[in-house]
Chain A
Amino acid sequence: MAATRERKVPALVDKPMDFCPGCGHGIVSRLIMEALEELDQLNNIIFPIGVGCSSNLGAGLECDRLHCCHGRAGAVATGMKRVSPDTLVVSYQGDGDAYNIGIAETFNAAYRNENITVIVINNTNFGMTGGQMSLTTMEGQKTSTSVHGRDCSVTGYPIRFPEIVAREFPGAAYAARGTVTTPANINKLKGYIKNALQAQLNHEGYSIVEVLSPCPINWGLSPVKAMERIEQELIPYYPIGEFKKRGEEQK
């Protein structure tokens, strides 16, 4: 008889979080908690949380956390970290939160090289409010505010923020993008998250991990098809990998 293995819930998660079936948020939340556990930081963590489906994280956690005004987590995290330099401060935000409404705070926290970690769940739309277009929506992608498909000539092109950090902010410690499409990618992503947290623990500076994450409900796709869309459409535009490695000199 095969031994049954019990699935362990990370210690910081005390309640189920209400994500849609096939949503990527849950996987990423779990990876962050596992990484914290492995780094022995369960008792040394504050989450400033964005507004969006990311807010569900705050509903399901048993740890210090604060729901920020939509888009302002970069500023809230700055205030937290400046007065608590030895406590891990990890913002958890959506693409709309971090890049649309919050681009000033996100950009400036990176620019100042705040010693914080930013996790951005890029699902190429505003999931929570019904799938409107965001700065990461792909060219031609249909959303509830780009019903004929995104026209980049009048709405701009999808933003690649971790690349900007890696290219423009010499002090930044770490910038990467991962995804949750396969076990291999999930393992890789966990490594990125751990690197980001370790950079912060060592006071190396700003770290950001963006995650390409499925939003099957608003994409109008099944969970499996949504994963395929990431592989086929998103990764070619939004490459997976580390754009700024720890300890790496600016090119």
Chain B
Amino acid sequence: MAEMMKGNEAIAEAAVRAGARFYAGYPITPSSEIMEYLSWRMEEVGGSFVQAESELAGINMVIGASACGVRALTASSGPGISLKQEGISTLCDEGLPAVVITQVRYGNGLGTLFTAQCDYNRETRGGGQGDYRCIVLCPSSVQEFVDLMAPAYELSEKYRIVVIMMGEGTLGQMMEPVTLPDFVETKRTPWALTGKYDYKKIGIFERDSRKEAVELREKYDAIKENEQRWFDEGIEDADYVFVAYGVPGRATLGAIRELRAEGEKVGLIRPITAWPFPEKAFAKINPACKGVITVEENATGQLVDDAALFIKKTHKDRNIPAYALTYVYNTPPIRSIKADYFRIKNGEVKEVY
């Protein structure tokens, strides 16, 4: 039975049900209710919760718990996720799984509290030092967020990689009907530090970084091949294909349905994995398509780089233009998306690529 729940609380409960038994983090709007909920809930299920002195400490506590084989979680937003980047890079270096939730808010520096998608580049490129990627999931509803928590841990353990749940302020703050998943039974990972040294590890100075880098690349190639997820509608015969994720992806779905009803041939690709980017969806696009249009909650246009890359890669014979509708912050209303679509159709908007 679906029950009305606040996004962050439903997400926190879903994490517990997905087997998370350790949380460490530092409060920040719009993600704080996740840690507030887990501050009492972890104890009930025999897990541990630490209110860390900073996001830096939080991610390093996650490193400790994950190294000991326990499903670990941290959540934050904007500047807090910036502070976690060295730790995320370290998790990747050690091949340790973890799930990091970001409920994105708009802005540089301290930023604002508005719901946004300004951190797409940071999350999908690996915002810390080095040569790594994280799997990035970008749900568009509270239910989808909740349903992706168990797969997030499965992916992170299967590939020994960090999974970023790239939400938005809205997804944490709004209430929606939610059906919670069942509890998952978990065991400590086989590589867990137990104090008994069951899992052998070579010394730090004996590591062969060149060999490891090649293996890592093979791993990332396998993820790109096997783990692309997306939703699409109406793209096989579309003149224009929208590309949008998260809550704007939902608004865009509403927009394309209305536009279809008005006789416009439009479709939507809604990435569910922002990395690996759903390149395979682009192969299904109408070869005669006149353009792809991203809908983004940022000012500079970030998603459009990937949309353009893959439309041009999959349709090499034609230089299909890529447009970006950038709404800075807050979910764009369906009527704005529709109005801006007609401006593109009428040649009033310049393509980005």
Quick check: A80 and B64 within 8 Å, CB to CB? yes
Chain A hits for B63, CB < 8 A: 66, 68-69, 72, 75-76, 79
Binds A, one of B171-179, B201-209, B285-293: B201-209
Residue B100 CB within 8 A of the other chain: no
**How far does the Cβ of B50 sit from chain A's closest Cβ, in whole Å?**
6
Assuming the A-B contacts A66-B67, A83-B70, A104-B54, are A46 and B195 also in contact, with contact meaning beta carbons closer than 8 angstroms in the complex? Answer: yes
- Among residues of A, the one whose C-beta sits closest to the C-beta of B62 is A79
Quick check: A46 and B53 within 8 Å, CB to CB? no
Quick check: A72 and B48 within 8 Å, CB to CB? no
Chain B hits for A75, CB < 8 A: 24, 52-53, 56-58, 60-61, 63-64
Quick check: A79 and B195 within 8 Å, CB to CB? no
**How far does the Cβ of A180 sit from chain B's closest Cβ, in whole Å?**
24
Residue B240 CB within 8 A of the other chain: no
Quick check: A79 and B72 within 8 Å, CB to CB? yes
Quick check: B86 and A84 within 8 Å, CB to CB? no
Assuming the A-B contacts A79-B22, A104-B57, are A67 and B204 also in contact, with contact meaning beta carbons closer than 8 angstroms in the complex? Answer: yes
**How far does the Cβ of A104 sit from chain B's closest Cβ, in whole Å?**
5
Q: For window 93-139 of chain A, which residues contact chain B by CB distance below 8 Å?
A: 104-105, 107-108, 112
Chain B hits for A80, CB < 8 A: 64-65, 67-68, 193
Chain B hits for A66, CB < 8 A: 63-64, 67, 94, 193
Quick check: B50 and A78 within 8 Å, CB to CB? yes
**How far does the Cβ of B90 sit from chain A's closest Cβ, in whole Å?**
5
- CA of A52 to CA of B94, assembled, Å: 18
Given A62, A88, A108, which contacts B57 in the complex, CB threshold below 8 Å? A108
Quick check: A79 and B61 within 8 Å, CB to CB? yes
Interface size class of B (residues with CB under 8 A): 35 or more
Chain A hits for B197, CB < 8 A: 43, 62-64
Residue B87 CB within 8 A of the other chain: yes
Quick check: B60 and A65 within 8 Å, CB to CB? no
Chain A hits for B60, CB < 8 A: 68-69, 72, 75-76, 79, 105
Binds B, one of A53-61, A184-192, A234-242: A53-61
Residue A225 CB within 8 A of the other chain: no
Assuming the A-B contacts A69-B87, A79-B68, are A64 and B62 also in contact, with contact meaning beta carbons closer than 8 angstroms in the complex? Answer: no
Given A44, A77, A107, which contacts B196 in the complex, CB threshold below 8 Å? A44
- Among residues of A, the one whose C-beta sits closest to the C-beta of B196 is A43
Name B's A-contacting residues (CB within 8 A). 21-22, 24, 48, 50, 52-54, 56-58, 60-70, 72, 86-87, 90, 94, 193-197, 199, 201, 203-206
Name 6 A/B residue pairs within 8 A (Cβ), A-sorted: A43-B197, A44-B195, A60-B203, A64-B199, A75-B57, A87-B194
Please name 20 further chain A to chain B contacts, defined as beta carbons within 8 Å, in addition to the given A64-B197, A78-B57, A80-B64, sorted by A numbering.
Answer: A15-B203, A55-B204, A58-B203, A59-B204, A64-B193, A64-B201, A66-B64, A68-B63, A69-B60, A75-B52, A75-B63, A79-B66, A79-B68, A80-B65, A83-B48, A83-B70, A84-B68, A87-B194, A105-B57, A108-B57
Name A's B-contacting residues (CB within 8 A). 15, 43-46, 48, 55, 58-69, 72, 74-84, 87-88, 104-105, 107-108, 112
